[in-house]
Structure 1
Amino acid sequence: MKEVNTSDFIVTNPVKLNEIPTILETGKSKKEKKKALKKVGKKLAKLQNTLYAHNRYGVLVCLQGMDTSGKDSLIREVFSKFNPRGVVVHSFKSPTRKELQHDYLWRHCVALPEKGKYAIFNRSHYENVLVTRVNPQYLLYENIPGIEKEEDIPPDFWDKRFNQIRNFEEHIAQNGIIVFKFFLHLSKEEQRLRLLRRLEKKDKNWKFAPGDLTERELWDEYLKYYEEAINKTSFPQAPWNIIPADDKRTARYLVAKIIYEKMVQYNDITEPQPDANLLKNIDKYKEILSKKDD
């Protein structure tokens, strides 16, 4: 696969999503793309083991994108070589009754990674400035003081929520969580084809829901709010990466490569050194274990 500059995908200035390509031409075959992902995936898994042993940092990977953008398969393929004890995947759907008894960030806070582990958010806290923005009636379920109906939502409500999210991410970053945010940028035409495949393949029928078509009609509105959310919450400690997602294999490779290249920059993440007593007696321990049991 041709050399890719991962900095090209980081949002450092305001972007217009409809001007950003949804596909990256690599000139490589499916087999070559799979091989490239396997190679970087192995290196990333090795770093994960070191992270686990080091036990000082946690890693949060947030995946956002339109329906069918490939979040599930990306998680399966990119993190397939990880030690299961070091990675936890959370899929955030509609808030439960218990979750609605807390503020909107609560369920995401309790799912943050422990030190030494990865947490993958399949959809994330950004749903609270996307789905609720497109469907403001959902906000009423949060029982926010002073908001009894949609008309009660003040003009600055969403800007305040963006600031709260930035503060949340800044706080966790300052306390040892390395934050990755990926927007899987899918074209509307590719989504149409993927939805159609779900109907044409019997083993994929279960993935389709009539509501997918209703959400699809809101495509432009969702894209507008994604753009605003990305522009207002991409900052050095938690930048957004816009990943062209029309080709799933390329998207997976890019996500893995971006994570790997960032993680290798943390020179302080190393395996702990054995204590002096162990090193002093290591030859004795080897001698004992080199003898077969009677």
Structure 2
Amino acid sequence: MKIDPDKYLVKTPVDLSTIPTHEDFGVSDLKLEKELKKVRVKLGDFQNTLYAHGKYGVLVCIQGMDTAGKDSLIREIFKDFNARGIVVHSFKSPSALELRHDFLWRHYIALPEKGKFSVFNRTHYENVLISRVHPEFVLGEKIPGIHSVDDIDTKFWQKRFKQINNFENHIYSTGTIVFKFFLHISKDEQKDRLIRRLELKRKNWKFSPDDLKERELWDEYQSCYEDAINNTSAKNTPWHIIPSDNKDAARLIVTSIMHKKLKEYKDIKEPTLDPEIQKNIDTFIDQLKSE
């Protein structure tokens, strides 16, 4: 299957209400799973090369409404990775220590080492999403000049978008390849998934009554996502909007986008052996076989 990454790339301002949330490519879920396995093996092979090359890191940012499929997408996409080459960070409410730093600090220290992947399950964008829907959260950051929610105006959020853009531009320029995926789920699909959480005993632990309170703010969240995406999708750090009502298709799309983009880095290759070692490979083999 050929998947065109540009179909999901944000190049111009978007209206989320007009973007489809479902994709199946006209094939069965089984076919989608088989295709995913093929591509994720290739992505896993690339990760080994990236590790050996040691000059780039890869940051994968996953955002989406609750139940959009972030956890399972991460689990399925990176199954063929060497554990030493990937770290997943799940950002919850900031700790007391994190609140004593600027809002980007905890994300900066979680960036990938050269040769590794870091996956942000929820990201620095929570600071212009959940914090925008609930501006009282910003007060916990103790920012000079911000004394009440009345001080958190449009200019504040525009400044924060600029700070995020500067952060991403900086890490890109120093060797971090950035992917940003918004898992676009419909409100009806979210309802069905929340019901499954309640009906399946093994998934009960994932449910909280707060999920229903946040669902009542659906339109507000969609507006904030749209504003964040439109203000921070840049040439070197663009957003991709992934239809996520069908989890199998979403996983395949994300994996295919990463694999195709990373293949464009022609300088990422395994280092050549020292000529002296290369010259004596047969000798080393004979030495081992003669033991």
Match status 1:218 vs 2:217: yes
**Preserved CA contact (<8 Å) 2:40 2:77:** yes
1:181-260 to structure 2, matched below 5 A, reads 181-260=180-259
Deviations 1:180-212 (A, max 9, x none): 000000000000000000011111111110000
Which stretch shows the higher mean deviation, 44-53 or 3-12? 3-12
Same amino acid, percent of matched pairs: 58
1:115 corresponding residue in structure 2:
114
Alpha-carbon distance, 1:154 to partner: 4.1
Q: Give the TM-score, by structure 1 length.
A: 0.98
Q: Which ranges of 4 or more aligned residues in structure 1 deviate by more than 3 Å?
A: none
1:106 corresponding residue in structure 2:
105
In structure 2, list runs of 5 or more residues that go unmatched. none
1:137 corresponding residue in structure 2:
136
CA distance in 1, matches of 2:188, 2:16: 15
1:56 corresponding residue in structure 2:
55
CA distance in 1, matches of 2:153, 2:252: 42
Deviations 1:51-109 (A, max 9, x none): 00000000000000000000000000000000000000000010000000000000000
In structure 1, list runs of 5 or more residues that go unmatched. none
Match status 1:278 vs 2:277: yes
Deviations 1:268-294 (A, max 9, x none): 000011112111222211110121x3x
1:159 corresponding residue in structure 2:
158
CA distance in 2, matches of 1:6, 1:165: 24
**Preserved CA contact (<8 Å) 2:52 2:270:** yes
2:11 corresponding residue in structure 1:
12
Match status 1:36 vs 2:26: no
SS in 2 for 1:43: helix
CA distance in 2, matches of 1:48, 1:154: 42
In the alignment, residue 103 of structure 1 is paired with which amino acid? D
Deviations 1:20-68 (A, max 9, x none): 0000131211211110000000000000000000000000000000000
Aligned residues: 291
Alpha-carbon distance, 1:9 to partner: 0.3
CA distance in 2, matches of 1:151, 1:15: 28
CA distance in 2, matches of 1:152, 1:162: 17
CA distance in 2, matches of 1:6, 1:177: 20
**Preserved CA contact (<8 Å) 2:24 2:246:** no
In the alignment, residue 191 of structure 2 is paired with which amino acid? R
1:263 corresponding residue in structure 2:
262
1:175 corresponding residue in structure 2:
174
CA distance in 2, matches of 1:138, 1:252: 32
CA distance in 2, matches of 1:248, 1:242: 14
CA distance in 2, matches of 1:180, 1:67: 20
